[in-house]
Structures are given as C-alpha cells and as structure tokens.
Amino acid sequence: MNNGPRLYNSISPEERDARLRRKQEKRQKEVHQLRRNRLIAIFAIIFVFLGVQISIKIAQTQRINSDVQASKKILNKVKLEHKELKTRRDDLQDPDYVAKMVRYKFMYSKPNEKIYNVPEGQNSK
C-alpha cells in the first residue's frame, strides 16, 4: 500500500477492489434473478400446459357422458320396443288370440254368431 499522494486522480487499490466486489455482487444478483425468472417462467408454462390439458380432458369427459346418456335413452327405448314385440309375438302364437284379432279386424264371425256394431265414444242414453 502506497500512502503517498495519488497522481492523475487515480483511485486507490482498496477502492478499486471494493468497486470490483460490488460489481461482482451486482452481477451475481442479476444472474440469480435471471435464473429465478427463468425457473418461474418454466413453471408457469408447465402449469398453463397442464391447465389446458385438464380443460380438454374435462370437455371430452362431458361430451362422452352426454353421449352415454343419449345411448342409454336409446337403449331403454329399444328394450321397451323389444319387450312389446316379444309380447306381441307370444300373443300371435296363441290361436285364441289370433282368432279374436281376425274376428275384430276383419269382422269375421263364428257360425251362428251375430255381430253388432256399436259406435264408440258417444254417450247416448
């Protein structure tokens, strides 16, 4: 260390070391902030990506659930129709029922049977 006068307005070695330390600390702080900001940006991108994926899956699930509900309604209709057709098939295999239907639809009659046509839906006394 030189305790003599400073020439040409030059700074002392202690001041120079202090300035270099402050500059280095400032640079380290900037690097630390830059890394932190990058890490935050990466996590933000990941969360946005996952959020979009979750919303897409929720929309798909809702669409599939609505399709399932519609299919269940159709299935119930088909089951009901199947049950009615099965009942009708069983009825048509019964000879008494077939005879009754033929007599009603085509106005056939048994021998010595009289058929009276009564109008329906009128309340005449």
**Lookup: tokens for 44:** 């933000």
Q: Who contacts 6 (Cβ-Cβ below 8 Å, separation ≥6)?
A: 12
Q: What is the pLDDT of residues 17-26, one digit of tens each?
A: 999 999 999 9
pLDDT score for 121: 76
In which band, very low, low, confident or very high, does the pLDDT at 112 lie, cut at 50, 70 and 90? Answer: confident
**End-to-end CA separation in angstroms for the chain:** 138
Whether 8 shows a pLDDT value over 70: the answer reads no
More confident residue, 75 or 108: 75
Q: Are 12 and 6 in contact (CB under 8 A)?
A: yes
What span, in angstroms and rounded, lies between the C-alpha atoms of 58 and 65? 10
pTM listed for this prediction: 0.53
Residue 96 φ/ψ, nearest 5 degrees: -65, -40
Spatial contact of 102 and 108, defined as CB atoms under 8 Å apart: yes
Does the structure show a pLDDT above 90 at 50?
A: yes
Higher pLDDT, 40 or 108: 40
Residue 34 has pLDDT above 80, yes or no: yes
Return the pLDDT at 116.
Answer: 77
What is the average pLDDT value for the chain, to the nearest integer?
A: 89
